[in-house]
Amino acid sequence: MPKLCANLTWLFTELPFLERFEAAKGAGFDAVEVLSPYDVNAQDIVKELAKHDLHMALINCPPPNYTGGDQGFAAVPGLEQRFRTDFKRALRYAQTLGAQHLHIMSGAAEGAEAKATFIENLRWAAAEAPDQSLTIEPINNDTIPGYFLNDFDLGREIVTLIDAPNLRLQFDTFHAAKITGDVLGTWAAMRDITAHVQVAQMPDRSEPDQGQIDYPAFFADLDTQGYQGWVAGEYKPRTTTLAGVGWAAKS
């Protein structure tokens, strides 16, 4: 049975943020992830994690751009110094929370210069934080138009080229379905470099139960292959979170 994690940016949004931790534990989750926790006092989150015996599985990097800019820019030429400054801030936050993974977002960019920038930034980050697990995630261009890392083969190429023990892939089944149309086949090709998994159903990014993706087969494959990482529910509940959380008990 996979180790299940609740994405508190997407789930339990019926509740104030700091109350979602207790709700996640009550629903049977042993870990949580928060995409952008930076506007909350880190110590308040640490208290909730400890109180409910929860692990922080993952947060995103960089911190949000409150001026309305792109979510990430690790592949954007000319922003290398800003990336380093914001990475250090995100790293301090991740360390305070005990976040297992720090997801580095490429941002919207294209071409050879963007690829070189992404590789340079990732290589620097891996060396700067050797004890922090870092992930990169292929994201489809419908969800984030122009996102540089929009291909799983490109993700493998970059992870292999950098060859750092703390840099791995983040595998999101929704994005895999949108990018390749073959979740199980893509997983088979990427599982050896994957450190973290996120799940949602097609086509509406809802609970990972009935729909186009065969989740019983996917979860069974995770168990068969001995995947030891977290499997995070990163989806939009069809109604309330609790009404649709039964998939977790069946996984």
Q: How far apart are CA 10 and CA 33, in angstroms?
A: 10
User: 206 has which bridge partners?
Assistant: 201
Name the active-site residue from 33, 48, 207, 234: 234
137 is catalytic: yes
Cβ distance 234 to 7 under 8 Å?
Answer: yes
Rounded CA separation 74/119 (Å)? 9
Active site residue 22: no
Q: Is the CA virtual torsion 226, 227, 229, 233 positive or negative? A: negative
140 three-class SS: coil
Task: Compute the half-sphere exposure of residue 145: CA atoms within 13 Å on the CB side of its CA.
Answer: 0
Q: Count other C-beta atoms under 10 Å from residue 30's C-beta.
A: 16
Q: How many beta carbons lie within 10 A of that of residue 67, not counting itself?
A: 5
2's tokens: 């996979």
Kindly name the residue from 33, 48, 137, 207 that is annotated as catalytic. 137
Distance between CA atoms of 7 and 35, rounded to whole angstroms? 8
CA distance 41 to 38: 7
In three-state secondary structure terms, 200 is coil
CA dist 170 and 150 (Å) reads 12
Catalytic positions: 137, 234
